[in-house]
Structures are given as C-alpha cells and as structure tokens.
A and B are shown apart, each in its own frame.
Chain A
Amino acid sequence: MSKRAVDAVFQALFLLSDLRFLLRETAPEHDLDDMQRERAATTLAKVKRQITILEEELIR
C-alpha cells in the first residue's frame, strides 16, 4: 500500500484543478498578469513535486 502515491495523485489533481480555475478566470485569451503567472509557476512547481513522488513510488 502506498499512501504516499495515493496522496500524490490527489494532490496533483487538486493542483491541476487550481490551474484549471486559472484558465477559467483568464478565458478566452489566457493572458496572465504578473500575479497570475506567479500563481501558475508556484502551482506547476508543486505539481512537479507530486509527479516526482509518483515516479519514486510507482516506477522506481
């Protein structure tokens, strides 16, 4: 049982939901301002961390 992998899947999906919401807020042009770009960058960095965890747990 890998609770860590399960948590990482959910966490990644939740973070991607935040990005999805950002796409909604900025539709149709998705022309992000500085704050939104920073939000996107922070979220993407967190998603990458979760992907790393999944790689460690599932395909090592």
Chain B
Amino acid sequence: MKCAVDIESRDVEEMYINIDPIQAGGRLTADAMKAAISFGDGYSVCDNCRSPFRLDYIQKPPIAQFHADLAAWLNMDAVRVVPGARRGFQAVASTYVEKGDPVIVTALAHYTEFMAVEEAGGIPLEIPKDTANHITPDAAAEKIEAVIREFSKTPPLLFIDHVDYQFGNVHDVAGIIKVAHQYDIPVLVNGAYSVGIMPVDGKALGADFVVGSGHKSMAAPAPSGVLATTNEHAERVFRTTQAKGDVTGRTFGVKEVEMMGCTLMGVTVVGMMASFPHVRERVQHWETEVAHSQAVVDALLSIEGTKVLSDYPRQHTLTRIDTRESFDKVAQQHKKRGFFLSSDLKKRGITGVIPGSTRVWKFNTFGLMEKQIRHVGESFVGIARDNGLNIL
C-alpha cells in the first residue's frame, strides 16, 4: 500500500515485533500519532505565537508549560527542545569550545559528539574504556591529567554517555562528573539512551547539561531532542542574538543564537508533548523493562555458544550479543548464509536485526508487551533448535 506516489506506507511496527537497537524508545504513543495528524503542517504551532516571538513562549499549544515541565522532570533549571540530541551537543560545544581546545569524550562516545567538537574547532580526546566496557571515574581523572599536561590548559568541556550505544551499559556518570568538577570542567551528559526510558535526575548526577533524544527515547517524531542545563550555564548557552543589520538596523530580539531562533515548529514538538505524560509514566516502570530485556538475553544465552557482551545481568534494554559460536556457525553452512537469522526471525514476525548479522549484533526490547517478549525469546530458541544448535 502506498501512502503517496512512490512512497510505500510503513507498517513495520504494526506487522512485526521490532527489536531494532535504535528504534525502540522512539516509537510513537497513540497520542503522539494523533498529534502528528493534527499538527502535520509546517508552522502549525505558530498560530498563536505572540510577542516575544519565540517557540518556548508559546502558550497555545502549551509549549511554554512543556518546557517548564521538562526542566522539572529532569531536575534541571532550563530546557530547550532541539532537533535531535546532536543539536544539543552542537549548541554546547559551539558555546564552550574554542579552536584548538582539547575536549574530553570517551571511547564509547557517539560519533555526533566528535562532530560537535570538530565543528567547534576542538580536539576530541577519549577516556579509554576498561575491560568490562565501562568508563570509570579513575580513567576520567587519568585522561584529564594527561590532557592538561599535554595541552597546558584545562578542557572546556567533557562529554559522557549515560548509557553507551555500543553495549547499552550504564556508566558511573555521577562519579565522572565529580572528578571533572574538581578540575572545573563542565560536563554534558548524553542521555540519548536514558532520558525518556529510565529515570534521570540531572541535579543528582551533578550534570551541567543533560541532552536527550526525542526520536530515540521519548516516543517523539524525528528530529527531536532536549537540551537541559542549570542556571549557571543557561544564560551562556541560551544567549540571545546581538546581531544588527548594518543597512536596515534590524535587531532580532529574544532569538537565541545556538537555537537559530526557533527549533521544533510543528509535529516534532507537539509529538514530544503528546507523548510526555506517557514518557513520564513509563520511566517509573524501568525495572519491568530491564526484566524483559533480561528474559530475552537469558533465552539467547540458553543457546550453546552464545555470549552477552553487555553487562550481565542486564541493566538496560539495549544489548550487544555475540553469536559467533552459535548462529554464525549455522550461517557458514546455510544456503542463505548470514541472512538466515533475520529471515527466520521475519517469518516469526520479528524484525530489527540487521540482515546478514550472525556474529556480533545488537537489539533493544524496550516497550514490548509481556507476550511479545516471550515470543521473541521463544523464537530465538526455536530458530536455534531448528538449525541444530544445542539448547542448554
């Protein structure tokens, strides 16, 4: 079925259980779907934009209130919605990083953190991960010391991923921030895999900035996200424009430089808003989500040769699994080669594993119903059994 000329309708979520590692937390709620129907037009939230003309002041729909609610929920002082977490990284890096500045990231940092630093002219330098694939406060301290020795200056910013995208491990963000603050380094917490799916308290973490992704973890349309900060940093990162036209003498009032004026002006912000009550509620059930993740991981581990590369027991719904000694052995003999796994999963109504992957791959169980979790676990085991693998 086509939804427009040459565009097939997308019915992946209706037809399959989707365990794609990056898509799980961004699936829309029913209310966000309704908001998308209502606010699909380009500047749809601007009908009632009145002076001062800025997105976060709009009262109808209640975008101003949404900003206040988001800040309170994250326990931060000020927030802005942004077109994806990466634009939050970009705004902060652009504000704090000067050309040639060393900036601390980590060996598990998302590539967009590197790009935000690069665009600002900084030099990204990684805190190494340990053998358990964790970024530790000790490693952060060692790296900061080494960078200060090498560059004879203190890094202006440190990025740390609350939950990394490679393993879905939860890192000691509070400990790392404590270390960074001993050197007066502000810290940006990348909450792309935490804000909106698990409880996040910015002040408890000690974060200077918390960045979340709407389309990754807040059940919102893409591109959307949130940049939250403290009163200490808000004035700087959310500074208003001082530009003035030399011919016209025009000035641009309260528009914020790093936000390029207004950010999410339609379906993205309203989608975030519509999902927000559900998001606020769902983070309270994080333990159930983790238990679901654990159940599927345990099913996979019952297949002889399978290893989990993420923390075990699981503390998150995103998991990296190693099936080189199980499904990949099947792939070597199978007529479909490595494509047998995604193909067999699809026959059982499951999608989201990259076609051809049978070695090291990731999946995410966030948001699935109990029955769907059972089906996923049983399907992995069933496929293994059908292909002659031993079940422990």
Q: Is the CB of A27 within 8 A of B38?
A: no
Q: Is the CB of A10 within 8 A of B38?
A: yes
Binding site for B on A (CB under 8 A): 10, 13-14, 17-18, 20-21, 23-29
Bound-state Cα–Cα, A50 to B13, Å: 26
Bound-state Cα–Cα, A26 to B372, Å: 8
Contacts of B34 in A (CB 8 A): 13-14, 17
- List 14 A–B pairs whose Cβ atoms lie within 8 Å, in order of A's numbering: A14-B34, A14-B37, A17-B34, A20-B33, A21-B29, A23-B14, A24-B13, A24-B27, A27-B13, A27-B15, A27-B17, A28-B16, A28-B348, A29-B349
The digit string for B1-35, where 1 denotes a CB below 8 A from any CB of A, is 00000000000011111000000000101100110
Contact of B30 (CB < 8 Å), options: A17, A26, A28: A17
Query: Would A27 and B37 be within 8 Å (CB), given that A17-B30, A21-B30 are in contact?
Result: no
* A17, A18, A27, A29 — most chain B CB neighbours (10 Å): A27
Binding site for A on B (CB under 8 A): 13-17, 27, 29-30, 33-34, 37-38, 348-350, 369, 371-372, 375
Contacts of B369 in A (CB 8 A): 25-26
Chain B residue nearest to A28 in the complex (CB) = B349
Bound-state Cα–Cα, A14 to B369, Å: 22
Q: Is the CB of B14 within 8 A of A24?
A: yes
Contacts of A26 in B (CB 8 A): 369, 371
Contacts of B375 in A (CB 8 A): 28
- 10 closest residue pairs by CB, A with B: A28-B349, A21-B30, A17-B33, A23-B14, A14-B34, A24-B13, A13-B37, A17-B34, A17-B30, A18-B30
Contact of B37 (CB < 8 Å), options: A17, A21, A23, A24: A17
The prevalent SS among residues of A at the interface is: helix
Known: A14-B37, A27-B14. 13 other contacts (CB 8 A): A13-B37, A14-B34, A20-B14, A21-B33, A25-B369, A26-B371, A27-B15, A27-B16, A27-B17, A27-B349, A28-B15, A28-B348, A28-B350
Bound-state Cα–Cα, A20 to B32, Å: 12
Bound-state Cα–Cα, A29 to B350, Å: 11
Q: State the Cβ distance, A25 to closest chain B Cβ, in Å.
A: 6
Bound-state Cα–Cα, A11 to B375, Å: 34
Contacts of A10 in B (CB 8 A): 37-38
Q: Is the CB of B372 within 8 A of A27?
A: yes
Contacts of A13 in B (CB 8 A): 34, 37
Bound-state Cα–Cα, A21 to B33, Å: 9
Contacts of B29 in A (CB 8 A): 21
* B34, B37, B350 — most chain A CB neighbours (10 Å): B34
Contacts of A27 in B (CB 8 A): 13-17, 349, 372
Contacts of B371 in A (CB 8 A): 26
Contacts of B38 in A (CB 8 A): 10
Q: State the Cβ distance, A26 to closest chain B Cβ, in Å.
A: 8
Q: State the Cβ distance, A24 to closest chain B Cβ, in Å.
A: 5
Contacts of A18 in B (CB 8 A): 30
Contacts of A28 in B (CB 8 A): 15-17, 348-350, 375
Bound-state Cα–Cα, A29 to B14, Å: 10
Bound-state Cα–Cα, A23 to B349, Å: 13
Q: State the Cβ distance, B56 to closest chain A Cβ, in Å.
A: 27
Bound-state Cα–Cα, A18 to B365, Å: 22
Bound-state Cα–Cα, A27 to B13, Å: 8
Q: State the Cβ distance, A52 to closest chain B Cβ, in Å.
A: 21
Bound-state Cα–Cα, A28 to B16, Å: 5
Q: State the Cβ distance, B252 to closest chain A Cβ, in Å.
A: 36
Q: State the Cβ distance, B367 to closest chain A Cβ, in Å.
A: 9
Contacts of A17 in B (CB 8 A): 30, 33-34, 37
Bound-state Cα–Cα, A43 to B70, Å: 32
Bound-state Cα–Cα, A18 to B34, Å: 9
* B16, B30, B350 — most chain A CB neighbours (10 Å): B30
* A14, A17, A29 — most chain B CB neighbours (10 Å): A17
Q: State the Cβ distance, B370 to closest chain A Cβ, in Å.
A: 11
Chain A residue nearest to B27 in the complex (CB) = A24
Contacts of A25 in B (CB 8 A): 369
Chain A residue nearest to B32 in the complex (CB) = A17
Bound-state Cα–Cα, A45 to B17, Å: 28
